Amino acid sequence: MTTIKKRADIARRSIPVTVLLMAFAAVPQAVAQTGTQLRGAQADRSFAFNIPSKSLLAALADFTAATNIQVIRPSSEAVTGKSSPVSGNLSANAALGRILAGTGLTYRFTNARTVTIQRSQGETSNFAVSDGSVVLDPVDVSSVGATAADAPYLTPGSVSNISRQELDRIPPISTSDVFRTTPGVISAGGRSGVSINPNIRGLQGMGRVNTTVDGARQTSSSYRGYSGTRDEVFVDPDMIGGVDISKGPSDGVGTGTIGGAINFRTLEARDIVKEGNDSGIRLKASTGSNTVTPRAPVQSPASVINMASEARPGFLNGDMFSGNVAVASIKEHYEFVAAYSKRQQGNYFVGTNVPPGIVFRRGDFTWDSNNANARVPAGGEAFNTSENADSFLAKGKIKWGDGQSLELSYLYFGSIYGEISEFNIAPSGLLDNYGQVALLRTRVDTYTAKYRHNPSDNPYLNFRANLWFTDLKTDFNTALRGVRTLGGDIGNASTFATPLGELVWDNGTEIVRESAFADQYPTTITGAGGWMTLGPTGERLLSGTFSKAALKPVDWLTVSAGGRFDYYDSEGGGYLAKYPERSGSRFSPNAGIVLSPLEGLQFYGQYKEGYRPPSLRESHWHYEGLLVNNPNLRPEISKNKEVGVNLLRKDVFTTGDKLRAKLSFFDNHYDDYIFRGLRSSRGGQNVYHWINMDSANYRGFEVSGGYDAGVAFVEGAYTNYDRVEYCPTPTTCSGPSGLRTNIGAPLQTPQQADYATNYIPPTTSGSVTAGVRLFDQSMTIGGRMHFASTRFGSVWNGGRGQIGYTMSPPGYTVYDAFASYKFSDDSVFNLSIENITDEYYFGAMTALGMPSPGRTARLSYTTTLGGARLVLPDVHLGNASHGAPGSDWTGLYAGGYLGYGLGHVSGFTTALNGAVTPVAASESADIDLNNVTKGLQVGFNYQFASGLVIGMEAEHTWLKHGETQKSLAIEGGAALMAGGWMQASTQYGMDWMMALRGRAGFAFDRLLVFGTGGVAWLKETQERAQFQSNFSTLAQPGGTSTSGPEFSERTSVMRQGWTAGGGVEYALLNNWSLKGEYSYSDFGEDNFLFPRARAGVTQSYQYQEIVDYRPNPRGGPPIPVYGPMITVPGSYSTVNGRKASNRLDMHAFKIGLNYRF
């Protein structure tokens, strides 16, 4: 893999998908480059070669197999003769030079994955390829040594790249900080938690921006009260290998998004293994200042608020640290990387240098007489900004044949963290709620796979297939919310020589299925709005088919045109199923032109349209009775125009220097823009719904670039908006004239009922980074300035209100410093200081007045081991390496698998003493638990001469199977039962499973067919939540609703049972085999005990009966005489417990990869 290839990897991190599973879809990405060699950082990429002297064509085929770089020759060129031998770990340049030595042939890289063979005096045309989630127009590298940082300046269109080196200069305090030097991109509400919510040129939220990790989408969102909603993407900054960004609607993979695409590429083997080695270990540790462990316990009631603040700590107090280890290897036919990261930091402290106009509140929580607008005091602790995260990455690739490869990866992210609740930090007196609350938990499991077939001698075949799955769940202590997203794509790019010039044609199709879930609760609101939920529940299906052709009639001109057809269908779940199912489709065209009059100079123009269906939160969610459904909501349509210029030149002022510049003008128009509008008023309370306005418009320009002379460098980025406007009707357009100034005042414009004001970026923003390299470039010292103005259409005048809601935060300028020193080629020390002047400032798109961190220092040390210091022992544990693949299955093997498990829990529930009661019986289990599985296996086979194979295998499976069964009240009167109110809910979860099995089967050369059976263990956890009625009287003994949960109980059982199944295993290579397997496991019946469970939900009440009447001394009706007070005990006051006797069985389907010794 080459460095230029990183840019094309914007979507290359998706994964193979079979057409039988789904009609998936591929991404066209036409990327054409020309150049003689891969230079700069490209030279740092090495490959394992073992190519003896052979026919030149055969040697070039082996080169492709080792590097996945396609070799193309003009049909008029004869490639004959023998190659020189090549062995060892070499760069692509070095290997090709040795292969072609003495042949009279030269080579020319036409892009990161294609090289053209030619006679030394010949000229060849440029070839474009496509491979990734974002389609890029042809790139002209010319003779410039290209690096990943150069990619944006070679690409005609608005793209950006953030390198690992850039992230290490000033490590991000939160993931949202990674965009600080990227023009046109801001993470909105970056201090609200550990997730990111990207805003690209004014668009954010509701899936408008396609944000992926290794090509896999995360589609979660959350409701933020007065601040609206935010998309949430979770990734550990220490696991990032690079970030690729494109702006605007996609003409390739990216169905349903119109704002742009951001892909976080995780670490790869070549990020760890140094050139000349075939394996490596990287160790990294860091510590920092300005944070403190939060006082609130990790598990506490969500309603508890701790307002006690800590004093600002000293320089290094141990509350901020991170460490990670990565192990990787690159071999001729495979490569892998495994990494673990631990990241912990406490609540940070804000700055002390307060700008004019900021006024704080008194300690008694009353409004200051000087009109306060800020809640967090200068130098104070920023509650709910802590994080404690773990990440694990495993990624492996096998390579075979002529340009074929299969890569599988798994990424785990788990975090316990604080999150700012903008709903509680609201304007007016509600600011009193500010303090430390219970920490949240989020877990994300990401699975990806990708298949590539790019034969060296076939310009018509550059096939890609991708499959991915993301499982995201957030625990709010009292409720769960999450989304499971499955997607994939297939596609192919072909290159043709036509009479009109070279033509690159890319076609593909993709499909994405979102399945969102959230706990649903009854509320005191009656009627249709009587339920609420933290998020949508339902499914949304997105699909897209696209085609794009790029024609290069002459060397300096490329024209392209294409289109995409998108379709969607969405439906609700639970009580949200009552909302109508939605579907729709549209064709969106695109076109572009690129002029390259001089080497390193490009002019480009492009027009793209896009289609965004309503998200599940817009179509199948409501908040109590305050935000309701709109069945007439229409999708958004984008129509974007852009022109720009790229400049990339070397040897400008001195030998070896490099100048980069990019200027882009954009004019983005969005028809049927979706926003929150006022629907009606009920009981003095406004009721809102999602509606379409006629259009919204964003226009501006971006500038980025840099100059690097080796001993010194400077980089910069600048964004300016000159038009931001909203048009409720075609003739009533207006710009954002500031945010709402009084939440109780009548709405002056339709958008004042929306959260769109929170999406408005600053008028200007940017950054400048500069540094010098000393002592033979072993030391680097530099600084960074980043700045932002007020939001477009707003000014900062201070005054009473709430920053980020009723007024724009003031502009800011912040200075940072960084330094690094290389003790050797293997060890690097880094120091950074962020916010040197300790400014009290708010991020460009802050969420309701949360200031950014004050002065913060970071120290880190990184060392990489490899070569002679890392020698893996050669131990003979089997016969896989002898003979042809599959000729002998005897030996030890180990591997992993992905699969899908279909579990079912059923049984009967009684009181704790075994008594059968109607209420307890109504809670009996009957629920399916289905989800993705993943696991590891290790075993040993022995093959007899007859082909009989026997063996033993141990397997460990991680399970994330969880569902909640709700039990409705069956007592308490008609009002309670007719309303469908809950009496209890039980959450069923399967944590892990282990099995020890025997195997027996027959080997047919490469194919092994086997049966298996043995014993299995499974850990199951159940958690029961108890509800109770709101009141009880003689007339209404059950009240009118239930509330809760009042408390919950959790219990776990280790089940034991039997398992049996069968499958097939195929030897791909001598040491690698692919298996498919089915198994059935039966765990019998076990008891789960909940001793605190109540007999029912009704409360106790008292009443008096009339026992007699006495005469009225004044005449009139007789006066009733009441007897003694009678107490009627409610069922809730009786503790009878529960005994749930449940059976569990599971069907499992698995696809795995084994390494055979």
In terms of Cα–Cα distance, which of 565, 589, 567, 594 is closest to 504?
594
Report which DSSP code applies to 93. Answer: H
Average pLDDT over residues 127-151: 43
| 400 Cβ neighbours under 8 A, 6+ residues apart | 65, 333, 1068, 1069
What pLDDT does residue 13 have?
A: 32
What pLDDT does residue 739 have?
A: 41
Average pLDDT over residues 213-233: 84
* 3-state class (DSSP) for residue 1001: strand
Report the alpha-carbon distance of residue 773 to residue 822 in Å, rounded: 11
Sign (positive or negative) of CA dihedral 378, 379, 381, 386? positive
Average pLDDT over residues 1100-1114: 85
pLDDT bracket for residue 2 (50, 70, 90): very low
pLDDT tens across 265-294, in order? 999 998 998 877 888 999 999 999 999 988
Report the alpha-carbon distance of residue 211 to residue 220 in Å, rounded: 11
Region of poorest pLDDT, from 404-408, 872-876, 1138-1142: 872-876
What pLDDT does residue 94 have?
A: 78
Q: Kindly state the percentage of the chain with pLDDT values over 70.
A: 83
Region of poorest pLDDT, from 151-165, 554-568, 607-621, 734-748: 734-748
What pLDDT does residue 367 have?
A: 46
Average pLDDT over residues 190-218: 91
pLDDT bracket for residue 1064 (50, 70, 90): very high
Beta-bridge partner residues of 1126: 1103
Residue 144 · residue 649 · CB < 8 Å: yes
Region of poorest pLDDT, from 66-70, 498-502, 959-963, 992-996: 66-70
Region of poorest pLDDT, from 418-432, 574-588, 1077-1091: 418-432
What pLDDT does residue 909 have?
A: 93
Residue 246 · residue 159 · CB < 8 Å: yes
| Cβ neighbour number for residue 219 with a 10 Å cutoff | 26
Beta-bridge partner residues of 681: 686
pLDDT top residue among 254 and 576: 254
Residue 56 · residue 18 · CB < 8 Å: no
pLDDT bracket for residue 192 (50, 70, 90): confident
Question: Is residue 416 over pLDDT 50?
Answer: yes
pLDDT tens across 587-635, in order? 999 999 999 999 889 999 999 999 999 999 999 887 766 778 888 999 9
* Strongest mean pLDDT among 457-461, 718-722, 916-920, 936-940: 718-722
Question: Is residue 312 over pLDDT 50?
Answer: yes
Question: Is residue 248 over pLDDT 90?
Answer: yes
What pLDDT does residue 210 have?
A: 95
- Cis peptide upstream of residue 1045 (ω within 30 degrees of 0): yes
What values do phi and psi take at 166, rounded to 5?
A: -65, -40
Question: Is residue 530 over pLDDT 60?
Answer: no
In terms of Cα–Cα distance, which of 983, 982, 976, 977 is closest to 1031?
976
Report the alpha-carbon distance of residue 877 to residue 790 in Å, rounded: 66
pLDDT tens across 761-770, in order? 999 999 999 9
Question: Is residue 214 over pLDDT 80?
Answer: yes
In terms of Cα–Cα distance, which of 245, 179, 189 is closest to 222?
189
pLDDT tens across 842-888, in order? 988 887 778 999 999 999 999 888 765 555 444 457 787 777 888 88
In terms of Cα–Cα distance, which of 279, 287, 272, 395 is closest to 326?
272
| Neighbour-count burial of 283, counting CB atoms closer than 10 A to its CB (0-12 exposed, 13-18 middle, 19+ buried) | middle
pLDDT bracket for residue 1013 (50, 70, 90): very high
Region of poorest pLDDT, from 80-84, 98-102, 491-495, 842-846: 80-84
The residue type found at 1101 is: Y
The pairing of strands 404-417 and 209-213 is unpaired
Residues in the chain: 1157
* 3-state class (DSSP) for residue 904: strand
Residue 434 · residue 383 · CB < 8 Å: yes
Sign (positive or negative) of CA dihedral 130, 134, 136, 139? negative
| 1061 Cβ neighbours under 8 A, 6+ residues apart | 1011, 1012, 1013, 1077, 1078, 1079, 1080, 1148
What pLDDT does residue 370 have?
A: 52
Q: What angle do CA 692, 634, 793 make, to 5 degrees?
A: 30
Report which DSSP code applies to 1091. Answer: T
What pLDDT does residue 492 have?
A: 95
What pLDDT does residue 809 have?
A: 87
**Where would I find the beta strands (DSSP E) of 1005-1117?**
1007-1029, 1042-1067, 1072-1090, 1101-1103, 1106-1110
Quickly list DSSP for 307-363.
---PPPP-S--SSEEEEEEEEEEE-SSEEEEEEEEEEEE-EEBB-SBPPTT--BPPT
Question: Is residue 683 over pLDDT 70?
Answer: no
What pLDDT does residue 437 have?
A: 82
Question: Is residue 749 over pLDDT 60?
Answer: no
The residue type found at 840 is: Y
The pairing of strands 627-628 and 685-692 is parallel
What pLDDT does residue 112 have?
A: 63
What pLDDT does residue 24 have?
A: 29
User: How large is the C-alpha radius of gyration of the chain?
Assistant: 32
Q: Kindly state the percentage of the chain with pLDDT values over 90.
A: 45
pLDDT bracket for residue 118 (50, 70, 90): low
Average pLDDT for the chain: 82
Which CA distances in Å does 2 have to 37, 68, 93, 115, 647?
Answer: 11, 10, 10, 12, 22
Question: Helices 92-99 and 56-67 meet at what angle, rounded to 10?
Answer: 170
Report which DSSP code applies to 78. Answer: -
